[in-house]
Amino acid sequence: MIDEICADAAQRMQKSLEALKQAFAKLRANRAHTSLLDHITVSYYGTNVPLNQVANVAVEDARTLAVTPWEKQMVPAIEKAIRNSELGLNPVTAGMVIRIPLPPLTEERRREMVRVVRQEAEAARVAVRNIRRDSNQTIKELVKEKEISEDDQHRAEEAIQKITDSNIAKVDEILAAKERDLMEV
């Protein structure tokens, strides 16, 4: 039972790390990457679908993304979705290909992005700590119901704390790598 609680906590903390990685993928560094457009949805016959399901997204060069829709009538909808995204990008249409030039980042914008990245990392740390709290609460309830002993409780709490420390260290590693990436000129 304790092993199940620890495994569940580890799995949920891993999901928090994955969510952090996805959030960081949306924040661009100095080079083009297709994951930059992953969260953009396009209206396709009345349904919002991810951009990569209605078009091919490719890196044309270090500062340009190319989006090639599978259907010609999707070009204006895709262009509008990219313009309306919070990325501040200006797509340029040439026939069936939508090119998205990425402007160079200023020092001020880099620092602003580092602040955003730190906020995201802190949110991930809080999520990991909340999972620890929930798991510890579950263990305390088991002690109240006399399903496990207090010694088992202490061992389980120590195990959960080790898992928590490990995951927070991973958050810090991911944060440090993203900060280096953002500040690289």
CATH topology classification for 34-101: Gyrase A; domain 2 (3.30.1360)
Over residues 16-25, the mean pLDDT reads 87
**Residue whose pair of structure tokens reads 């740390």 in the numeric block:** 125
pLDDT band at 52 (very low <50, low <70, confident <90, very high): confident
**Is the pLDDT reported for residue 168 higher than 90?**
yes
CATH architecture of the domain with range 2-26+106-183 = Orthogonal Bundle (1.10)
CA distances to 72, 92, 99, 125 from 156, in Å: 58, 57, 54, 20
Structural domain boundaries in the chain = 2-26+106-183, 34-101
Residues 56/67, Cβ–Cβ less than 8 Å: yes
Q: How far apart are the C-alpha atoms of 105 and 109, rounded to whole Å? A: 6
Q: What is the DSSP letter of 86?
A: T
pLDDT of res. 28:
62
Global confidence as pTM = 0.67
pLDDT tens-digit profile of 101-150?
887 777 877 887 888 889 889 999 999 999 999 999 999 999 999 888 88
